[in-house]
């Protein structure tokens, strides 16, 4: 019974770092990143100096939605692409016009 308790304790000690490592995937933002985000939200139309209590959540959420729409391709996956471009020339046959199909006349 004592060895079972020791085995459980050892397993718990070994499992705790793995669980805590999995939870710490989000790194804190730097000051430069926060300033860049604030500038981006202000460019999207949010002005903290003119914000009031009546439209506070709505105006910043609208600005964040505009920023998310601008940065949609950088943070998402899948979906429809914005556009595409093809280049090159049309496919040409290398046999010429006088060569017929193998199945011709059979």
Q: How far apart are CA 13 and CA 1, in angstroms?
A: 19
Prediction pTM value: 0.43
DSSP 29: P
Q: Give me the tens of pLDDT residue by residue for the chain, a chain 106 residues long.
A: 778 788 777 676 666 666 565 555 578 889 999 999 999 999 998 888 887 778 888 888 888 899 888 877 565 566 666 666 677 777 666 665 556 667 766 5
pLDDT for the residue 75:
55
Q: How far apart are CA 41 and CA 72, in angstroms?
A: 15
pLDDT for the residue 6:
80
Q: Are 46 and 58 in contact (CB under 8 A)?
A: no
Name the residue with tokens 């439209």. Answer: 55
């Amino acid at each position: 019974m004592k060895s079972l308790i020791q085995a459980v304790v050892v397993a718990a000690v070994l499992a705790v770092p793995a669980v805590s490592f999995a939870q710490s995937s989000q790194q804190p933002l730097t000051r430069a990143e926060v300033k860049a985000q604030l500038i981006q939200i202000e460019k999207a139309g949010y002005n903290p100096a003119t914000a009031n209590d009546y439209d506070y959540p709505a105006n910043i959420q609208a600005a964040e939605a505009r920023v998310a729409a601008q940065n949609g391709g950088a943070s998402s996956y899948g979906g429809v692409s914005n556009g595409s471009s093809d280049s090159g020339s049309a496919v040409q046959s290398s046999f010429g016009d006088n060569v017929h199909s193998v199945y011709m006349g059979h």
